[in-house]
Amino acid sequence: MIEVLLLAVALSMDAFAVSIGLGSKKKETPLSMAWLAGVYFGIAQGVMPLLGYLGGKGVLGWVEQYAPWIAFALLLFIGGKMIYESFTEGVEEDITQVTHHVMLILAFATSVDAMAAGFALTLMDVAPLLACLIIAVTTFLFSFAGVYVGARSGTWLESKAELFGGVVLILIGLKILLT
pLDDT of residue 162 exceeding 90: no
Do the beta carbons of residue 156 and residue 4 sit within 8 Å?
no
Greater confidence, 48 or 168? 48
50-83 residue pLDDT tens: 998 988 787 766 777 777 787 788 888 888 887 8
Decide: helix, strand or coil at residue 134: helix
What is d(CA 54, CA 176) in angstroms, rounded to the nearest whole number? 19
User: Does pTM top 0.85 for this prediction?
Assistant: no
Neighbours of 54 (CB within 10 A): 15
Give the dihedral sign, CA 9/61/54/111. Answer: positive
Nearest to 1 by CA among 116, 151, 130: 130
Say how far apart CA 161 and CA 157 lie, in whole Å: 6
CA dist., res. 40 & res. 105, Å (int): 10
Q: Please name the helix (run of DSSP H) or strand (run of DSSP E) that holds residue 163, with its range, or none.
A: helix 158-178
